Amino acid sequence: MNGGGEGLAAPATSGAAVSPLEWKFSQVFGERTAGEEVQEVDIISAIEFDRTGDHLATGDRGGRVVLFERTDIKDHGGHRRDLERMDYSISRHPEFRYKTEFQSHEPEFDYLKSLEIEEKINKIRWCQTANGALFVLSTNDKTIKYWKVQEKKIKKVCEMNVDASKSMENGAVASSMSTSSKPYLANGCKDRPVSSPSNDTSFPALHLPVVTSQETSLVARCRRVYAHAHDYHINSISNNSDGETFISADDLRINLWNLEISNQSFNIVDVKPANMEDLTEVITSAEFHPTHCNTLAYSSSKGSIRLIDLRQSALCDTHSKLFEEQEAPGSRSFFTEIIASISDIKFAKNGRHILSRDYMTLKLWDINMDSGPVATLQVHEHLRPKLCDLYENDSIFDKFECCLSGDGHRVATGSYSNLFRVFGCSEGSTEATTLEASKNPMRRQVQTPARPSRSLGNLPRVLRRGADNSGADTNGNSFDFTTKLLHLAWHPSENSIACAASNSLYMYYA
């Protein structure tokens, strides 16, 4: 990758400040009633919009994949091109409906390692559509599956010409059928004239059954199974922009697959040391560049992001760029390394920026500037005094996801008490909104002093803003660490967010 950034789009954070958005509730799927106990298998574990934003997929801990389709623009011909011509700032009210679901993974047991393999869906990724069919990659801890979902016409035998009395003489019709000489027409189809049996003993004229396509049904079929390539739990899958390959990542390795070849993959990153006692960091997330098929990034438990170029060597054991933030002197504590671990990374749509989420913050990185993040956004800084409690109840190991808007002006991530936060990342923006995942989302604007406009090159390495030191949620209650919003996705071309709170899928728009 060239350090000068030839061919890259303008930075996401450049330009005039964008006014804060007013978020509104749109829809909810699977909302539980008061007092209803949620089954573990129903908790949503993955969310993903497709490239058009017309379809949404969720995966749950029970191994199911549920697909939703957009309905508010369904009836307009060529609607995708119309949407691309529209101004991004125009508020729309996207509406989705349940499309279909299928069982993607089942619980397994590895007898060689005496290891139970959960059916939980870790990640979902959409592939390119073809001939009206939808293609989805889904993975649990060990096995990736490639699914094709398409409409199939159900064919039924509509009518048959059978003379019951003559057939009974030949023993072909059960005694429960009518013994009258009236022709028997199957499946309740409309009567049509049939030849009457003659008075002699000869068999009446035969007519072939008529087969018709009466209705359509969505059928999910597993096209490929990519298995036995990971010794550790798969944490990421990511499609390449070439439409032919994808990567899968576990704690120590990243493998490159061809969609059409399931019995072999190429190991392109291997961080496993010769002696496992020397292991100091693991891979936590990996993603392909949105447009450059030779470039991908992966994050580590030490808080660093490595950019690698597949053109350099077959085994990318050396990175082309390293992004990490230097520790402030004297700031190290027992929890420093734990909260520095990056749980998720996402490329901006233009490929110029990478968004990362660690336990306490969101960081925005410019891939042409490896001295440090261009912005650091505090998600729940008020929890810092409670890190000891969070460590005791294992909450400090929760893995929150992050997402960017299609225009690159905003980023979002989740927190506790089913809250999620939306930050403006345009230059001069002070937008920091907290919303609750519910039908009546409580919202809070966290305003910070405006900073003078400046170019990206002059920005300080760390911009701390949006900090909330109240230690309480929007209702003034203490944070509930048992309810957490880990998974969310931003519509690729509109200001619309889908997020998962337990077994419920909430949709918001602005």
Largest CA distance in the chain: 108
Which of residues 328 and 27 earns the better pLDDT score? 27
- Sheet with strand 283-288: strands edge to edge: 283-288, 295-300, 305-309, 321-323
What band does 477 get if pLDDT is binned at 50, 70 and 90?
Answer: very low
SS3 sequence of 359-385: CCEEEEEECCCCCCCCEEEECCHHHHH
What band does 439 get if pLDDT is binned at 50, 70 and 90?
Answer: confident
Q: Is residue 466 situated within a structural domain? A: yes
Token reading at 467: 């900090």
Please say if the pLDDT value at position 452 is more than 70: no
- pTM metric for this prediction: 0.78
Please say if the pLDDT value at position 78 is more than 80: no
Q: CB count, 10 Å around CB of 132?
A: 7
Token reading at 455: 């170019």
Q: How many domains does the chain have?
A: 1
Give the mean model confidence (pLDDT) for residues 392-404: 95
Please say if the pLDDT value at position 409 is more than 50: yes
Q: Is residue 277 situated within a structural domain? A: no
Which of residues 148 and 329 earns the better pLDDT score? 148
Distances 207 to 159, 179, 185, 195, 196 between C-alpha atoms, Å: 10, 20, 12, 9, 12
Q: Is residue 500 situated within a structural domain? A: yes
Q: Is residue 86 situated within a structural domain? A: no
Residue range(s) defining the domain that contains residue 416: 20-40+338-510
- Rounded to the nearest 5 percent, the helix, strand and coil shares of the chain are 10, 40, 55
Q: Is residue 55 situated within a structural domain? A: no
Q: Is residue 302 situated within a structural domain? A: no
Dump pLDDT digits (tens) for 343-368: 999 999 999 999 999 999 999 999 99
pLDDT of residue 468: 40
Query: What is the rounded CA–CA span in Å between residue 240 and residue 289?
Result: 8
Q: Is residue 279 situated within a structural domain? A: no
Coil vs helix vs strand at 507 = strand
Percentage, residues of the chain above pLDDT 90: 59
Token reading at 143: 């096995």
Q: Is residue 100 situated within a structural domain? A: no
